[in-house]
Amino acid sequence: MVNIYQAILELEADHKAGALCTIIDAQGSTPRHEGSKMLVYEDGSFIGTVGGGEVENRVRKEAGESMVDGKIRLLKYRMVDPKSGDAGVCGGTMEVFVEPIIPSPLIVVIGGGHVGKAVATLAKTLKFRVAISDDRPEFCTPEANPDADEFYCVPMENLPEALDITPQTYLVLTTRGSNVDIQGLAPLLKTRAAYIGIIGSKRRWLVTRKALLEQGVTEERLNQVYSPIGLELKAETPEEIAVSIIAEIIMVRNGGTGGKMKI
C-alpha cells in the first residue's frame, strides 16, 4: 500500500488525475479481500489490484469516467453467473469505492496584456493554478505577470505541444486580434480543455469563425467556444472584464446558469 500512497502524492505534485479504487465489502468467495486497492491513471494504466479479470476491467472503466466528471462511485458486483451480466463466477459479491483524484483547475491565459494580467491576478486569488502563454517574451515573464505559476512563450498553435491540456484546464484567449485566433485556435479545439473563451466583439468572433470554417474546422468544434467571453456585466476596465470572465468559468465548472438569484 505504501507504493499506492506514494503514487497518489506524486499525482498531486504533478497535477495529474487518477482514481483510487478500494474494496470496502467482500462477501463469500471473491478474488480479493476488503481493503484491497488499485490506483488507476488517466491513460488506463494502474497499480495494485481489486481482483483482475472482468470485475477489474469494469472498475477501471468506471475509474476513467470518474476522472472526467469528478464524482465518486460505489460499485456493487455479483460474481455468480456471467450469462446474466455478473462480473465473474467466484460465487461472492463485492463493493468497490472509487474516489477520483482531481488536480486543482488550471486557467491558461493566452495573451499577457492588461486584461490577461487582471485575469491571472483574480484567478490566483480564487485558488486556481495560473499559466500565461504569449509568443511575445516581454509579456511572458514573472515580472510582467507575477501571479502566474507557469509560463509558455510559444505561438498559440504550439501550446498543446508544450502543455498537457486536460479536462481541468480552462483556456482564456485575451489575444491581440482575430488574426492570432485564426492562426492558432484550431489545435486548441482538438484538446480536452473544459473551457475555451475568446475576448472580443461579436463581429470579431464571426470573422474568426468564418475563417476557421473555411480552414475545415467543424461547426461542432467551433460551438465549444465561448465568445464574446464572459458574463454580461457591462464591464469596462481590465479588472471588471476579469470578473466577468472568471464568473463564466465558475459557472461552467459548477454547472450554474449565470442568471440572477433574486426572487
If one compares 2 and 195, the residue with the highest pLDDT of the two is 195
Give the per-residue pLDDT at 28.
85
Residues 6+ apart with CB under 8 A from 138: 144
Q: What is the pLDDT of residues 56-70, one digit of tens each?
A: 888 999 999 999 888
Q: Which domain holds residue 173?
A: 106-254
Final residue before a domain boundary, out of 43, 71, 101 = 101
Instruction: Let me know whether 73 and 114 are in one domain.
Output: no
Give the per-residue pLDDT at 80.
67
Give the per-residue pLDDT at 78.
78
Instruction: Let me know whether 86 and 213 are in one domain.
Output: no
pLDDT band, residue 224 (cuts 50/70/90): very high
Give the per-residue pLDDT at 262.
87
In a domain, 97, yes or no: yes
Scanning the chain, the segments in alpha helix (DSSP H) are: 2-13, 53-69, 114-125, 159-162, 178-189, 202-215, 219-222, 238-254
In a domain, 260, yes or no: no
Instruction: Let me know whether 88 and 116 are in one domain.
Output: no
Kindly state the average pLDDT of the residues 25-30: 85
Cα separation, 159 vs 10, in Å, equals 24
Into how many domains does the chain fold? Answer: 2
Q: What is the pLDDT of residues 116-149, one digit of tens each?
A: 999 999 999 999 999 999 999 999 999 999 999 9
Lowest mean pLDDT among 27-31, 103-107, 164-168, 227-231: 27-31
In a domain, 133, yes or no: yes
In a domain, 261, yes or no: no
Cα separation, 8 vs 157, in Å, equals 32
Using omega within 30 degrees of 0 as the cis cutoff, is the peptide bond preceding 82 cis? no
